[in-house]
Amino acid sequence: MSTPLLQVKDLEVAFRTQTGLVQAVRGVSFTLERGSSLAIVGESGSGKSTTAHAIINLLPGTGHISGGQVLLDGEDLAKASQKEMEEIRGRKIGFVPQDPMSNLNPVWSIGFQVEEAIRANGIASGRKEVKQRAIQVLKEAGLHDADRRLKQFPHQFSGGMRQRVLIGMGLAANPQLLIADEPTSALDVTVQRVILDHLESLTRELGTTLLFITHDLGLAAERAEQLLVMYKGQVVESGPSAQILQNPQHPYTQRLVAAAPSLASRRIQATGSISAAESAIATDASSAAGEAIDLIATAEARAEALEAAASQPPAIVVENLTKVFKIRGSGDFTAVDDVSFQIAKGTTTALVGESGSGKSTVAKMLLKLEDATSGKIVVGGHDLASVSGREMFGLRSRMQPVFQDPYGSLNPLRNIGNTIAEPLTTHKIGTAASRRERVFELLDQVSLPRTLVSRYPNELSGGQRQRIAIARALALKPEIVILDEAVSALDVLVQAQILRLLAELQAELNLTYLFITHDLAVVRVIADNVCVMQKGRIVEAATTDEVFDNPKEQYTRDLLAAIPGANIKLGA
Amino acid sequence: MLWYTGKRLLQIIPVLLGATFLIYFMVFAMPGDPIAALYGDRPPAPGVIDQIREQYHLNDPFIVQYFYYLLGIFQGDFGVTYSGQPVNEVLARTFPVTIRLALLAIFFEMVAGITVGLISGLRKGGIFDATGLAVSLVLISLPIFVLGFVAQYFMGIQWGWFSPTVGTGAPLEDLILPAIVLATISFAQIVRLTRSSVIETSSLDFVRTAYSKGLTRRRVVPVHILRNSLIPVVTYLGTDFGTLLVGATITEGIFNVPGVGRTLYQAVIRGEGPTVVSFVTIMVLLYLVVNLLIDLLYAVLDPRIRYA
């Protein structure tokens, strides 16, 4: 047998910091045979991207390989000189980076950046030849009008198009190995599927070996033959994809499989503090029977609650809502087009769609951060169009938002206590002492220690920050919470925690949620009803089960089919 | 782009009006009689004084004087200095000298500043970087007149590298030393700006992607790091132009350069209203035009910027 294409042996990567060396990757080993595919899975900070960067020797900042070997065709890349690495990159190892928005130089045209890669790897020489090859590369990557768009700049391309350009650049020199570092994480699901399908057929055609880095277990299993699960810089489990998904051995992998929303199939049923999802995670043979009964009981309780809610007046009524933006030079743009829906008290309605579908604009109009062009929004019996400023102020206390980015939505200069208490002070509720008491109560509700009160946002993790944002939203005891991509920026395990928390809070406080997301997988575990939006219109609206089991619109079917790992059967 | 340029040019009008008014008012409010200053110890005949006052509208109220002045400007006439020369002539004689000095200074500060800043940024934390930072801090802290006299004494007189003063016609080789002095403070700023910009750009994703394509360092540094890092530096040049004009006034005094700065300084001392106002107006105009050019250049450097 020939030597494997890539052999990583006991790879260690360290970063120098002020407090000494920090090990980011500890003793990672794996082998990649020619023409095979391997996915490294893990949450942020697990060292999966660092491993990828170590292979091509492009570690950021003070990062360096502190031990082990990276053997490409038997040659140790860890010891290669800068010049040798420059020969290997592009030619032997192609790289497709994570974020299409930041990985193209904004000041150079697309053509320039592709041609530069072709010239650097000696694929072609001479202006005409290089340009021909650039067009060919881009066409192969799925950019059909490449010849026309060579002169355009990155900002004139959509995210999906940019990712195609990056894939084209990565494959420009027909490398033997392609490292794809979260190549589609920043993209809409349907775009993601198209791009990954294309990448798959392209690499199969060229016989390229694929090393795939992702945080999405379902995606990894679907796209790679072998899986490597990383946690805190170490490999915790590796083997054939199907085997790992169906029979995870390591506790971390088990939790990851249980939490992956793309693999889950039921709405979280909250009963008090123990939720179905949590029990599912804890499942072992002895308690399985008891859990099953519990599941049925909670499902029935949920169904009763929904029936009760249906008999009350709805919390939110939206009728024929339309929003038109005036765009200088190119006329009007209808972001939201004749949208109508109702949300019953104590239930969750998900608004699903890809970026640009108008879902966030609906949320902004509901919160009256944006005025509707036409149509009606009734919240708790008040028509938003006719409420006075003072009434709106009162109404805002009953309707609170949680936004997507937990890093951007907390003021870094205010400590956690003040952040959570801010809605209370704004609405002049209680005394300083009672507000402090309420802050403690809220921290308890979102399962954070009370000691966080005096800490600042930069000291907290993303998941903790999102909990703070939720606590702030709950401070005024609102009836309605509008969650705009509130879990999209979080790792799967944290995402599962937050979703569970939301379900529990809903059961406890009878909250009404409008849940805005691009991720249908998340919808399944949190929502009662779903509205699917496309280009500003609601194309399908039904209960979550109906949408998932019996989608009527082609667009919904596309969205569902695009959920990675959706058709992977999990073992018992 | 054309529409944007037009809009910006139109904006110059109110700014110019406001600037001339303020300067005119300030000159008017200066204590002392310009005619007395003109004649020194030997007072002229009373009739002469009256005649001069009449000629320069000095008996009219401030606002009327201002309008007379404005009227002149719109006819391309900037008035006459108290020594009888048309201001236009003085402008035509002095501005080319100062422009040459300023361009030379900009050349020095750009070439040296960007080079040093780039090397510092690429070797962040190294000896070169540490030295560069320390030296630039010293240069920023030094007042330009101290630097000017020190440079003139050592490089001009003691070591004789350069001519210590500028001769008639202000030949280019005489302007080198004043230009270096003038460039110094901005040089230090540009070093620091380029350095931090290079450091920031170096850590951006597209730089890593550029390397991953197989590009050599020799290509990545100028094409992907330097090119992007220059955008804030170019923006800085706009505001820096103002600093240069101020610096020119002092530097020209020290090195006896027959330029705008020295002439303006003398006119301020003598209280020559029309001369001061005319010079400053032209400077304001120049500043506005330079900043417009820089904004347009900005759009060329960064294709994401589109003016509408």
Rounded to the nearest angstrom, the minimum Cα separation between A328 and chain B is 9
Kindly state whether residue B190 falls inside one of the protein's structural domains.
yes
Q: Do domains A6-259 and A309-398+478-562 have the same CATH topology?
A: yes
| Residue A260 and residue A216 in contact, taking contact as beta carbons nearer than 8 Å | yes
Which structure tokens are listed for A339?
Answer: 């949208």
**Chain A residue at shortest CA distance from B300:** A107
Q: Are the C-beta atoms of residues A97 and B209 closer than 8 Å to each other? A: yes
Residue A288 has pLDDT above 50, yes or no: no
| From A53, A61, A328, residue closest to B308, measured CB to CB | A328
Residues 219-248 of B with CB under 8 A from A: 219, 223-224, 227-228, 231
How does the average pLDDT of chain A come out, rounded?
Answer: 83
> A103–B205: do the CB atoms touch at under 8 Å?
yes
Which residue's structure tokens are 């691009």?
Answer: A518
Question: What was the pLDDT predicted at A279?
Answer: 42
Other Cβ atoms less than 10 A from the Cβ of B203: the count is 10
pLDDT, position A440:
92
Q: Say which residue, A531 or B266, is predicted with more confidence.
A: A531
**Three-class secondary structure of residue B247 per DSSP:** helix
CA distance A146 to chain B (A): 19
Say how far residue A506 (Cα) sits from the centre of its chain.
23
Residue B268 lies in a domain: no
Question: Does residue A134 register a pLDDT over 80?
Answer: yes
Chain B hits for A97, Cβ within 8 Å: 205, 208-209, 212
With CB atoms and an 8 Å threshold, state whether A58 touches B308.
no
pLDDT value at position A477? 86
Interhelix angle for B87-122 vs B260-270, to 10°?
130
Do the domain assignments include residue B169?
Answer: yes
- Among chain A residues, the shortest Cα distance to B199 is held by A61
State both tokens at B232: 């804030």
User: Which residues pair with residue A270 across a beta bridge?
Assistant: A275
Q: What is the pLDDT of residue A70?
A: 92
Question: What would the two tokens of residue A126 be?
Answer: 């001479």
Q: Is there a contact between B214 and A155 if contact means CB atoms under 8 Å apart?
A: no
Contact list, A181 vs chain B (CB under 8 Å): none
Q: Which of A521, A462, A456, A459 is nearest to A491 (CA)?
A: A462
Give yes or no for a contact between A226 and A38, defined as CB atoms under 8 angstroms apart. yes
The pLDDT tens digits for A184-238 are: 777 777 778 888 888 888 888 888 999 999 888 888 888 889 999 998 889 999 9
Mutate to test the interface with B, among A55, A116, A157, A177 (most CBs of B within 10 A): A116
Shared domain for B65 and B173, answered yes or no, is no
List chain A domain ranges: 6-259, 309-398+478-562
Complex ipTM value: 0.78
Asked if the Cβ–Cβ distance from B212 to A56 is below 8 Å, we say yes
Assigned domain for B106 exists:
yes
By residue range, what is the domain housing residue B142? 96-258
Segment B203-258, tens digit of pLDDT? 888 999 999 998 999 999 999 999 999 988 988 888 888 888 888 888 888 888 88
Residue of B nearest to A54 (CA): B212
Nearest chain A residue to B124 by CA distance is A61
Indicate whether B231 and B110 sit together in one domain: yes
d(CA A56, CA A78): 9
Best mutation target, B4, B209, B301, to test chain A (most A CBs within 10 A): B209
> A120 and B219: CB-CB below 8 Å?
yes
Which one has a higher pLDDT value, B300 or A26? Answer: A26
Residue of chain B nearest A56, judged by CA positions? B212
Q: Which DSSP helix (H) or strand (E) runs through A165? A: helix A159-171
Angle between helix A251-259 and helix A492-509 axes, rounded to 10 deg: 60
Q: Do A95 and B212 touch (CB under 8 A)?
A: yes
Helical spans, DSSP H, in A268-380: 276-282, 288-310, 359-366
In a domain, B250, yes or no: yes
Q: Do B241 and B166 sit in the same domain of this protein? A: yes
Mutate which of B3, B206, B233 to test chain A, going by most A C-beta atoms within 10 A? B206
A76-100 mean pLDDT: 90
Chain A nearest-CA residue for B209: A103
Is the separation of the CB atoms in A496 and A415 below 8 Å? no
Q: B224 to chain A: nearest residue by CA?
A: A105
B149 and B232 fall within a common domain? yes
Task: Tell me, yes or no, whether B164 and B224 share the same domain.
Answer: yes
- Do B32 and B163 have their domain in common? no
In our burial notation (b when 16+ CB lie closer than 10 A, e otherwise), range B166-180 reads beeebeeebbbbbbb
B111 and B183 co-located in one domain: yes
Residues B128 and B178 in one domain: yes
- Residue A113 is predicted with a pLDDT of 94
Contact B203 A90 (CB under 8 A): no
Mutate to test the interface with A, among B199, B212, B219 (most CBs of A within 10 A): B212
Whether B205 and chain A come into contact, CB under 8 Å, resolves to yes
Which CATH number does the domain housing residue B100 bear? 1.10.3720.10
Q: What share of chain A has pLDDT > 70, as a percent?
A: 88
Task: Name the closest residue on chain A to residue B123, using Cα atoms.
Answer: A61
Identify the segments of chain B with pLDDT beneath 70. 32-41, 307-308
A484: pLDDT strictly greater than 80: yes
Across-strand partners of A532?
A: A352, A540
- Average pLDDT on A151-167 reads 86
A15, A49, A103, A327: best to mutate for the B interface, most B CBs within 10 A: A103
Residues B49 and B150 in one domain: no
Any bridge partners for residue A516, and if so which? Answer: A351, A484
**Domain shared by B36 and B149, yes or no:** no
Of the pLDDT bands very low, low, confident and very high (cuts 50, 70, 90), residue A349 is very high
Q: Among the three residues B7, B42, B74, which one is the final residue of a domain in this structure?
A: B74
Q: Cβ distance B302 to A153 under 8 Å?
A: no
pLDDT for residue A305: 65
Please report residues of A whose CB lies closer than 8 A to that of B230.
none
Mean local confidence (pLDDT), A74-96:
90
HSE-up of residue B208 (Cα within 13 Å, Cβ side): 24
**Torsion sign across C-alpha atoms B88, B89, B92, B94:** negative
Domain A6-259 has CATH 3.40.50.300: yes
Residue B215 near chain A (CB below 8 Å): yes
Q: How many structural domains is chain B composed of? A: 2
Backbone angles phi, psi at B43, to 5 degrees: -70, 140
Q: What pLDDT band is residue A532 in, cutting at 50, 70 and 90?
A: very high
Q: B209 and A97 in contact by Cβ < 8 A?
A: yes
B-chain residues near A90 (CB < 8 A): 212-215
CB contact under 8 Å between A153 and B303, yes or no, is yes
The CATH code for residues A309-398+478-562 is 3.40.50.300
Separation CA A378–CA A363 (nearest Å): 13
Query: Is there a domain that residue B288 lies in?
Result: no
Closest-CA distance of chain A to residue B305, Å: 10
Write phi, then psi, for A530 (nearest 5 degrees).
-130, 135
- Give the number of A-B residue pairs with CB atoms closer than 8 Å: 92
Query: What is d(CA B108, CA A252) in angstroms, rounded to the nearest whole number?
Result: 61
Kind of pairing between the strands at A226-231 and A37-41: parallel
Tell me whether residue B209 is in a domain.
yes
Predicted confidence at residue A141, as pLDDT, reads 83
CA-closest candidate to residue A400, choices A442, A355, A462:
A442
- Residue A502: closest CA among A534, A476, A469: A469
Whole-number Cα distances in Å, B97 to A42, B149, B173, B175, B261: 66, 21, 13, 9, 10
Considering the domain architecture, whether residues B52 and B153 belong to the same structural domain is answered as: no
Chain A contact set for B228 (CB, 8 A) = 105-107
> Looking at beta carbons, which residues of chain B come within 8 Å of A141?
none
User: What was the pLDDT predicted at A218?
Assistant: 81
CA of A354: how far to CAs of A109, A284, A503, B37, B42, in Å? 27, 38, 24, 77, 87
Give the closest residue to B255 by CA, choosing from B159, B164, B161: B164
Nearest-CA residue of chain B relative to A109? B303
Residue A13: strand pairing partners: A25, A65
Comparing CA positions, the residue from A414, A471, A480, A416 lying closest to residue A443 is A471
